[in-house]
Chains A and B, each alone.
Chain A
Amino acid sequence: MTTLISARSAEGGRVRLRTAWALRLWGGRVSVLVRPRALAVGLVLVAVSVAVVALSVSVGDYAIPLERVPGAMLGFGERLDVFFVQGVRLPRALTAVAVGASLGLAGAVFQSLSRNALGSPDIIGFTSGAATGAVAAILVFGAGRTVVSLGAIGAGLATAALVYLLAMKGGVQGYRLVLVGIGVSAVLGAVRDYLMTRADLTDAMGAQIWMIGSLNGRGWGEVAAVCAGLVVLGPLLVGLGRRLRYMELGEDTARGLGVPTQVTQVVALAAASALTGAAIAVAGPIGFVALAAPQLARRLARSGGTTLVLSGLMGAALLAVADLVAMRVLAPAQLPVGVVTAVIGGSYLLWLLYTEWRGNRA
């Protein structure tokens, strides 16, 4: 059963009619608000992701025509096709999608919790800790990829826990959490700077590429790791979406509306950090996706608040496109995908802001 809800909003002198359908299931026990524009944007983002994955699998030094791609995915066709698609290109493309979705979703949660457009997983120091752990693993211990990933996760979790503990004093306030996170991140950044300037140039370059974030040579193990995180934590976070929206109105208001704010905050922080952690362990701290995806999503959907699902889809599409570009733009030289997310994501956000602010909207 659907109900039509309409709200009038006066904007720029015009009266615009906004519509949304409330979808009620099981006698109203579950109800979802569906806005046509958001739905359309979501479908477009899914289509873009699928198309880009197909394209990434098909292009390369060994080109596979698109019509041979579906067969090769399922293991039919020429042996070389199957090897490249199943063994190399498909896992990499899927890693991009899953990592992007994780980062976009986590970014939206962090921006919502901190009520700050600049809020990102960095604010609780997780990213900074992970980067420092990985750099130390690479430069001090000369570790391989698995150990680097584990080091990153361990250091990230330890840092997040430390920040949370240091910020705790009769409950954790968002503001204090953010400031403590900045302080701890600064120390970790200094440790990284120290290691980077004392290391051998080649090793330092390896560490630098890890810090930029790269999807080069990622396989099915990585896909499984990130997808496991998404499957478990994604629905949990989306389920918390409405509470988070209430909390954006202010903690007192949310409490008045019956939201258990402290619990919600801790659960959402932990889940979003774990998502980010899995993404970072697999691909390094790819910059800007967590920050830009939620902003892009809410602008495209013309939504007033944070949109978790769309942010995840936006992140997936963004990273899939970025990795395709990273592979091909200077081929045969390979760029780390973090270079491209920064340039593409940044330019796209610039263009969006440029056109949005051309009018007289404040």
Chain B
Amino acid sequence: MRVSALAPPSPTRRVIRPVGLVVCLAVLGLCALLSVTVGAKPIAVADVWAALTDYRGTYDHDVIRTLRVPRTVLGVFVGAALGLAGALMQALTRNPLAEPGILGVNSGAAAAVVVAVFVFGAGGAALVWPAFAGAALAAVAVYALGSRGRSSATPVRLALAGTAVAAVLQGLVYGVIVLNDFVFDRIRFWQVGSLTGRDMEIFWQVAPFLVVGVMLTLSLGPSLNVVALGDELASTLGGRIGQVRVLSAVGVILLCGAATAAAGPIWFVGLVIPHLARLVTGPDQRWLLPYSAVLGAVLLTAADTVGRVVLPRSELEVGIITAFVGAPLFIALVRSRKMAKL
């Protein structure tokens, strides 16, 4: 049976939800601290503090300021954005398999990156803007197609439109890379999703989108609860379905577009994190959204840190580790209890 998000929560859940959020935030703080201190060269917490407050230009201080901190900050924001975008997407489409990629975000970004590499030979930070633009354009196209005609974009329509657009873009990407070694070489590394070598410049480029996206999304919680009741009941109760859907789509574009632009496509976080969060929060979007953000950030920073130390003398990309860390956890949870449905 469907449990309404508007039903009063059980007494235990009422206590667990705020406490759990504080615990998750504490864990996130710990992960961020580890991310700054752990790496090929371990650096003591005291030195980290000194590097930030009393910069002396030593090698350790440079590592902290130019490598570890940007990477950690980016990891927290990208993870939070992906978790939020995933939760939003699943609420928007009412499909537990939905992830931001369904709006065509990842394939749009990939196609734009391929074009940028193919035409301009671009690389590194120069790929951020094309990726964001591509993601946004693809998502707008999917949404426009899904909301054609008189009725607003229904979940099934969005899923179908997104699949079709993604397929066309993916085909174009494949077409270019099989005929061009150079582009293929760039794309195979971009495609994995990584935080390696990202500096503050990249963070400042995407930060405005991320901040606006996070604020917009968190404000949508109550309206999404109403939309979750189904179109007819929701409109009877005075919910503005069309408006909420448009705003949600804008949120997904801002969050996921910026995250993908900064770190490449890391699709698993957006898919899994909301399922994990739902185990604690139940279907109430007002809690589900912040939980998804914090847990997404935890997963991404933790995975990035693990990726730095798991192999001697080389790094594993964060996109690889999120799958290796997140998937067994996810499967264990799926098995251990009845999954909370949407």
A contacts, CB < 8 Å to B: 116-118, 166-167, 169, 175-176, 178-180, 182-184, 186-187, 189-190, 193-194, 196-197, 201, 204-205, 208-209, 212, 287-288, 291-292, 295, 330, 333, 335-336, 338-343, 345-347, 349-350, 353-354, 357-362
Check if B178 sits within 8 Å of A361, measured CB to CB: no
A54 to B317, CA, bound (A): 48
B4 at the interface (CB under 8 A from A): no
Check if A197 sits within 8 Å of B275, measured CB to CB: no
B179 at the interface (CB under 8 A from A): yes
A346 to B165, CA, bound (A): 6
Check if A118 sits within 8 Å of B163, measured CB to CB: yes
Check if B171 sits within 8 Å of A193, measured CB to CB: no
B339 at the interface (CB under 8 A from A): yes
* Contact digits for B69-106, partner A, Cβ 8 Å, 1 yes 0 no: 00000000000000000000000000111000010000
Pick the contact of A362 from B151, B166, B170, B272 — CB < 8 Å?
B151
Question: 21 A–B contact pairs at CB < 8 A?
Answer: A118-B95, A166-B331, A180-B334, A182-B330, A184-B327, A187-B324, A190-B320, A201-B181, A205-B181, A208-B177, A208-B184, A212-B174, A340-B171, A342-B168, A343-B167, A349-B160, A349-B163, A350-B145, A357-B145, A358-B149, A362-B151
* Contact digits for B309-326, partner A, Cβ 8 Å, 1 yes 0 no: 000000011011111101
* Contact digits for B258-281, partner A, Cβ 8 Å, 1 yes 0 no: 000000000010011001000000
Interface residue stretch chosen among B187-195, B222-230, B282-290: B187-195
B54 at the interface (CB under 8 A from A): no
Interface of B is mostly: helix
A266 CB, nearest partner CB in chain B, Å: 19
A180 to B188, CA, bound (A): 26
Check if B192 sits within 8 Å of A357, measured CB to CB: no
B154 at the interface (CB under 8 A from A): yes
A213 to B212, CA, bound (A): 41
Check if B178 sits within 8 Å of A208, measured CB to CB: yes
A338 to B170, CA, bound (A): 10
B contacts, CB < 8 Å to A: 95-97, 102, 145, 148-151, 154, 156-157, 159-161, 163-168, 170-172, 174-175, 177-179, 181, 184-185, 188-189, 191-192, 268, 271-272, 275, 316-317, 319-324, 326-328, 330-331, 334-335, 339, 341
A337 CB, nearest partner CB in chain B, Å: 11
Check if B339 sits within 8 Å of A176, measured CB to CB: yes
Residues of B within 8 A of A339 (CB): 171, 174-175, 178
Check if A193 sits within 8 Å of B156, measured CB to CB: no
Check if A346 sits within 8 Å of B167, measured CB to CB: yes
